[in-house]
With several copies, the nearest count.
Chain A
Amino acid sequence: MRNVAVVGIGETAFGEHWEKSLRALAVEAGIAAIRDANIEGADIEAMYIGNMSAGKFIGQEHLAALAVDQAGLVGIPSSRLEAACASGSLAFRQACLAVASGEYDIVIAAGAEKMTDLQTEDVTTTLMGAGDQEWEGWLGMTFPGLYALMARRHMYEYNTTREQMALFSVNGHKNAALNPKAQFPFEITVEDVLNSPLVADPLRLLDCSPVSDGAAAVIIASEDVAKRFENPIWLIGSGQATDNLALHDRKSLTSLRATKIAAKRAYEQAGIAPEKIDVAEVHDCFSINGLVALEDLGFCERGKSGKFVEDGNIERGAAVSINTSGGLKAKGHPVGATGISQIIEIVKQLRGECGKRQVPAEFGLTHNVGGTGATVVVNIFGKELKER
């Protein structure tokens, strides 16, 4: 199995791009990544693109062919990957495996979602396609509702407080204020969160990631090729796992089994422990999921995430700098693009290109969740190639 590295990154700003179509967003991110890598379009041998639900958001399937078409790269193999909000990470992982196999040397892995072309109620319905349509969606259940069930249970089992959850959003916004690509580049307070409207008790509006448009792309190269680039960032560990699709089928509501399996695999492959991770982008589609991730990824003990956050451990430069990009909550969450965007932030941190939000970092981690945790991908990146 060959090693692979990220040698180029590019993304659109995240937000409400009324003026841009999905195809335009995807091409903008792709071109930025090609320029960042300083390669030609013709160097790219294949494309992988993550997208959750363009079929419902804009009536368009077959997005992989459309993306190469619009990018002027017609001919090369192009594949769409989907696992709800983890679609971007699936595209990245398949791209890496394809390069590792020897089939390609340079590929592009992208993610894109256009969510603002629909009315709010239809967005809510569409997002429930990530859950179990027959046993959750048909009841009028919503995604905030599912995570609210997890939040309520976490509060019950571990005395986690509303304020502790709010702090996760506050941290994201603090970082987003320094990220020009973020949808919400401003700070908020715990009071702002607690006074925002209830969406699904106990979750409030400022616990929830927004509806966003956006795209992100990275260029992946095989070991030999990557070494010719200036600043390759190496994928040193990767894991993907699944859990039951419906929340009521899970043994626990306060831990994502798929995160634990994927993280175990990634840490083992990387040969490092959670304590070695300097910076991590975790999947805070809702504040509660950020807290649960801290536990499942081994950054703190089970049930202790609320206290961990309260004690300042996730701030920039603390025990582990969490969501320096702003995270899904404050940077934005165009679902198919999120996994790739997380990788871009970690690559920038490891390159030392994050400007005011830069932290000292040798190892970085991404954690991308599909649905309520039925799919999870964890990647670990390093500045140095780890010999296998």
Chain B
Amino acid sequence: MVHRSSVPMHWRLYESRYNLVGNKCLVCGEFFYPSKIVCPNCRRRGILKRVVFSGKGKIYSYTIIRNAPRGFEKYAPYVVAIIELDEGPRVMGWIVDSKISDIKIGQRVSVVFRKIYEDGKEGLIHYGFKFRVIDENNQLRD
């Protein structure tokens, strides 16, 4: 029942997932992550341009997953949050390498590149971004 996916399904998303690439509508100014196909504000009058996000932002909400889906059992418990990027859009990602007491709404975080999961024993290994807590000067907490 795990989705044993093919390579193309993922490489279509590599740029977005590896480099935090989204887009911005030059007409209304809104940033989007992941990239929108159509600007929801301007529709056919919108002009979408590729943008690489800074990867800095703050925690908008978070949870700790204790009952994991198939394929993630060995990682549980893990923290998944919605991060509000400094440019505006919100993204979902794990929070890693951080003290649980530092994880709270409003806390600043910065992106890191990590393994997400393995697609079965002989399947693909998927990579993507996660986040870790930083302080107000964008420095890692220790």
Contact = CB atoms under 8 A, between A and B. Distances in A.
Interface of A: 18-21, 23-24, 27, 31, 35, 40-42, 56, 58-59, 70-72, 74, 116-122, 124-126, 128, 133-142, 144-145, 148-150, 152-153, 156, 197-203, 246-249, 253
Given A140-B71, A153-B105, A198-B64, A122 B4 contact: yes
Contacts of A35: 44
B8 A117 contact: yes
Scoring A41, A58, A124, A133 by chain B CB atoms within 10 A of each residue's CB, the highest score goes to A124
Contacts of A41: 38, 43-44
A115 B65 CA distance: 21
B80 A141 contact: yes
A19 B69 contact: no
Given A58-B5, A125-B1, A140-B65, 5 more contacts: A23-B37, A116-B8, A124-B67, A145-B63, A149-B82
B43 A58 contact: no
Contacts of B52: none
Given A24-B37, A58-B9, A201 B63 contact: yes
B68 A70 contact: no
A135 B37 contact: no
A270 to B, nearest CB: 30
Contacts of B9: 21, 58, 117
Contacts of B91: 135, 248
Interface string B45-79: 00000000000000011111111111111010010
24 contacts: A24-B37, A31-B38, A41-B38, A58-B3, A59-B5, A72-B43, A74-B40, A117-B9, A118-B6, A120-B67, A124-B68, A124-B70, A125-B1, A135-B91, A137-B69, A138-B117, A139-B94, A141-B92, A145-B80, A149-B61, A149-B82, A150-B61, A202-B63, A248-B92
Contacts of B4: 118-119, 122
Given A118-B1, A140-B68, A20 B92 contact: no
Nearest to A126: B1
Scoring A74, A134, A247 by chain B CB atoms within 10 A of each residue's CB, the highest score goes to A134
Contact of A20 (B12, B70, B81): B12
Contacts of A137: 69
Contacts of B105: 152-153, 156
A153 B105 CA distance: 8
B99 interface: no
Scoring B39, B43, B69 by chain A CB atoms within 10 A of each residue's CB, the highest score goes to B69
Nearest to B83: A248
Contact of A27 (B38, B39, B82): B38
Nearest to A128: B69
